Amino acid sequence: MSFMQCTSCAKKWQNQEDFLADPEVSLLGLQVCFENLLEGLIMFNHSCKTTFSIEVSRFGNLYQGPVYETRATGTEQCPGYCLNERELKPCPTTCSCGFAREILQEIKNFPKGQRG
């Protein structure tokens, strides 16, 4: 079983590392699911001009830090990043959504390999 298959061109990535290292894949954003943060969707663009998404839970291994219980969305401390699905910045607030934003940073900074 492969990690992911493009919904348009059917390219397959055998594992998470191959997917993240592919220079033909770029991070687009995050659609937060406030009811269950692990069910949020991380969106990607593929060079075949397709956008697809993968659940946050499939990238949980990329984050080893704390996961907070309280959500700060809508408070004065919240910069509102989770409300803008194209915003890729890490959140400076202590918030339960923060781990997903840290996963975005890991994906964004993952070294891209050579085209093969």
pLDDT by position in tens, the chain (length 116): 899 999 999 999 999 999 999 999 999 999 999 999 999 999 999 999 999 999 999 999 999 999 899 999 999 999 999 999 999 999 999 999 999 999 999 999 999 985 44
Q: Are 97 and 33 in contact (CB under 8 A)?
A: no
Q: What is the CA radius of gyration of the chain?
A: 15
Boundaries of every domain in the chain: 4-108
Question: Which residues does residue 52 pair with via DSSP β-bridges, in sequence order?
Answer: 44
Q: Are 100 and 87 in contact (CB under 8 A)?
A: no
How far is it, in rounded angstroms, from Cα 29 to Cα 42?
6
